[in-house]
Amino acid sequence: MKHPRNLFYAQSGGVTAVINASACGVIQAARARPDLVGTVYAGRNGIVGALREDLIDTSHESDAKIAALRHTPGGAFGSVRYKLKSVAENEAEYRRLIDVFRAHDIGYFVYNGGGDSMDTANKLAQVAASMDYDIACVGVPKTVDNDLPITDVCPGFGSVAKYVAISTLEAAFDVESMPQTKVFIVEVMGRHAGWIAAAGGLAGRDPGEPPHLILFPEVAYDEDRFVDAVRDRVERYGNCVVVASEGIRRADGTFVAESGQQDDFGHAQLGGVAPHLAEVVRGRLGFKFHYAVADYLQRAARHIASAVDVEQAYALGRAAAEMAMSGVHGKLPVIVRTSDEPYRWEVGQADLAAVANVERHLPPEYITEDGFHITAACRRYLTPLIQGEDYPPYTGGLPEYVRLQRNMAPRKLPAWEG
Amino acid sequence: MKHPRNLFYAQSGGVTAVINASACGVIQAARARPDLVGTVYAGRNGIVGALREDLIDTSHESDAKIAALRHTPGGAFGSVRYKLKSVAENEAEYRRLIDVFRAHDIGYFVYNGGGDSMDTANKLAQVAASMDYDIACVGVPKTVDNDLPITDVCPGFGSVAKYVAISTLEAAFDVESMPQTKVFIVEVMGRHAGWIAAAGGLAGRDPGEPPHLILFPEVAYDEDRFVDAVRDRVERYGNCVVVASEGIRRADGTFVAESGQQDDFGHAQLGGVAPHLAEVVRGRLGFKFHYAVADYLQRAARHIASAVDVEQAYALGRAAAEMAMSGVHGKLPVIVRTSDEPYRWEVGQADLAAVANVERHLPPEYITEDGFHITAACRRYLTPLIQGEDYPPYTGGLPEYVRLQRNMAPRKLPAWEG
């Protein structure tokens, strides 16, 4: 009989309101099978934790604390934006990972992240095979941007969608009350894909209901068209509520607002679209405006998480661990939609290679012809994802989010000089 | 026996997540006394609705819709920023108000707003008396800024405080997960008073817990001190979470960020503090940052309203109507705190004149000596105000907020040429 081996889990990329629900699923599934899994080690700050042999020994965390991860936002073990180079470019990194895994008898690798992270998991799977190191590499999808292919939805998206739809609805009620405020702009995340901006469209059910305009990264931003549309909506409805994706670009491909910073994946850090649009509104229309920039608040808003999203995040975490434990390699669990209404879904499987580095944008049939709103087909897709309110427990007026002890496992190897 | 007379109710100034709960209290109290009150008319857009004889006849709204106001953000009848001039400067406006009230047999005037609005109600009370028009003028306090004197708290504040505390807590969990993000800044409302910024301080219980810095309007902003403090917190804690009031000013009294717009009370419209501070952090420290601007989202966030706040807003609305119906004139109901822990409060009364145009700032004993955080005394004051979660009902993933019919009462007077 095989002795139990250890499981390495890590979180990568921008965190979400529910990535810890996936962590909870992974760890609970592993704890349920002591015959297969000894210790679950979590990488401190994602894959970098493996490279540096910064392994959090999760066996010191109580069952209650692990259960509380299900309702705790952020990444409990620390995330990171770090993309491994190709094997040809930096084989040493991959060898280091295998060395660390060998030293700690890691037989299961479960990596929770977006497209870049699925790429990392996929490359590692290949290198391990070529080095004859026995490990099951499985991904867990996660991204608020909802830009992974194949899976019906990425855990994290449903909750940010719900937050953005509710915030847009609430702000619209406020704006309608204030006759002097003509334009309200809320800036939401979505670097290349307009899924989050689209979710703002759920706040209204017909064209006269806010939001009146949605600016998608998939539609080239044209200042004149934007100004004309704002003027038109203010004339028709008394005010204009705009949901703007941080990632909107002009026809020439330049971002409307770049912060000037880059992340370690080399992506431009965005931000400042709302102030920019507000300046345009003031300068060209003279309307009184307000704007909000939701930024981290939107993806951390566990207090109003979508119950569907929490359940899916947890289910995919569990499924990933179970897949790894049963020897599945180079795959990730995904959400398969079997019915729109009532919404029904099940967990399927896909190849990491098929998901890595492929960005799913809003399809043209989800955007109205004028480019400023979502279609009925888009509503059919989005609506199920924001169903249910999975409220966290509260003490003293604040959510009871958990901070783990994060005890480090003793190192066994020399420090990494990468 | 006196015949029942009509009640005029209006909403003024920036709206809140719970001003409609006060409206609900006013209207339900009036409906309970048909012997005293005939019709409740609501001013469309505050006092301007009275000047223009734009009176919403609330008797067309069902009891269910009025009840739903308790969980609906924004101002259901429209608000306005409009300050009546002194009687000496513009007696015609006051005469017009009395003309409109006389035409519609208004015997009760209930005005829901902040300091400026209590001033309006107070002036009207005096003019009515001097014109021998029989009317009971009562205020209902409301302001997210919590800057009214006498009352323990202003309805609207507890909910924005809860929202800001939770949002800061959640964003802090996100920032802690992202080792590359060193500084996170959330900009909150509070033109002259730092109550909302102070509420962000509830997110952490000891100095090492975020937020690490709070910038209050009551403390002169000094860029060098800010930069030093950010560097220090990043060195000590790995990151620095900042809650910044929109109203922070330099020692010379200039606002750090003015949008260049003014409202109709002549106040500078603020906004842009967070982008400004982020620029300082980038330029002088080179740290990777994120920032959020909550703007209307914070004061419209009925989805996470404080149960205490909702209850108080409703109670003060009811009390105001009851005071007016019993002939009280020139006063407003206020919250009297009788115990910190457990929090106990009751409804008292104050003179409109004592509340009008007086701004209550954070007292020095609520701010730590370094000017960057809140004291234990401040926590004792704030903590009770964010207790309880008064969740709205949901349908299809979104809160069931109500939009009223707002049928206009037929006009009886010539149009106003004011």
Cβ B178–A79 below 8 Å, yes or no? yes
Q: Say what the ipTM of the complex is.
A: 0.96
On whether any CB of chain A is under 8 Å from the CB of B15, the answer is: yes
Closest-CA distance of chain A to residue B117, Å: 15
Burial class (CB in 10 A: 0-12, 13-18, 19+), B351: middle
Cβ B272–A271 below 8 Å, yes or no? no
Burial class (CB in 10 A: 0-12, 13-18, 19+), B87: middle
List the one residue out of B245, B118, B261, B262 whose CA is nearest residue B191: B245
Q: Please list every residue in chain A whose beta carbon sits closer than 8 Å to the beta carbon of residue B175.
A: 296
> What's the whole-model pTM score?
0.96
Phi, psi at B358, each rounded to 5°: -110, 125
Closest-CA distance of chain B to residue A226, Å: 21
Closest-CA distance of chain B to residue A39, Å: 22
Cβ A166–B398 below 8 Å, yes or no? yes
Spell out, as residue ranges, where chain A has pLDDT lower than 70: 1-2, 259-271
Spell out a b/e string for A107-141, using b for 16 or more CB atoms within 10 Å of the CB, else e.
Answer: bbbbbbbbbbbbbbbbbbbebbeeeebebbbbbbb
Q: Please list every residue in chain A whose beta carbon sits closer than 8 Å to the beta carbon of residue B290.
A: 271, 295-296
State the Cα–Cα distance between residues B379 and A408, nearest whole angstrom: 35
Cβ B391–A389 below 8 Å, yes or no? yes
Give the pLDDT of residue B73. 98
Cβ B74–A173 below 8 Å, yes or no? yes
Interface mutation vs chain A, best among B187, B258, B259, B297, most A CBs within 10 Å: B297
Give the pLDDT of residue B262. 59
Interface mutation vs chain A, best among B51, B162, B174, B291, most A CBs within 10 Å: B174
A89 touches A316 (CB < 8 A):
no
Tell me the residue type at A362: L
Q: Just list the catalytic residues of A.
A: 145
Cβ B173–A391 below 8 Å, yes or no? no
Closest-CA distance of chain A to residue B237, Å: 14
From B379, which residue of chain A is nearest by alpha-carbon distance?
Answer: A396
Spell out, as residue ranges, where chain B has pLDDT lower than 70: 1-2, 259-271
Q: Please list every residue in chain A whose beta carbon sits closer than 8 Å to the beta carbon of residue B295.
A: 171, 290-292
Q: Please list every residue in chain B whose beta carbon sits closer than 8 Å to the beta carbon of residue A45.
A: 179
- In angstroms, what CA-CA distances link A247 with A149, A193, A212, A359, B186? 19, 8, 19, 14, 21
Cβ B275–A274 below 8 Å, yes or no? no
Over the stretch A158-177, which tens digit does the pLDDT of each residue have? 999 999 999 999 999 999 99
Any catalytic annotation for residue B35? no
Residue A171 tokens read as: 């702000």
Q: Please list every residue in chain B whose beta carbon sits closer than 8 Å to the beta carbon of residue A177.
A: 11, 15, 74-76, 78-79
On whether any CB of chain B is under 8 Å from the CB of A166, the answer is: yes
Q: Please list every residue in chain A whose beta carbon sits closer than 8 Å to the beta carbon of residue B73.
A: 170, 173-174
Average pLDDT score over chain B: 94
Fill in the DSSP letter of residue B255.
Answer: B
Cβ A178–B300 below 8 Å, yes or no? no
State the Cα–Cα distance between residues B54 and A304, nearest whole angstrom: 38
Q: Please list every residue in chain A whose beta carbon sits closer than 8 Å to the beta carbon of residue B293.
A: 274, 291-293
- Rg of chain A over all Cα atoms, to the nearest angstrom: 22
Give the pLDDT of residue B3. 86
Tell me the residue type at B104: H
Give the pLDDT of residue B84. 84
Q: How many CB pairs under 8 A join A and B?
A: 201
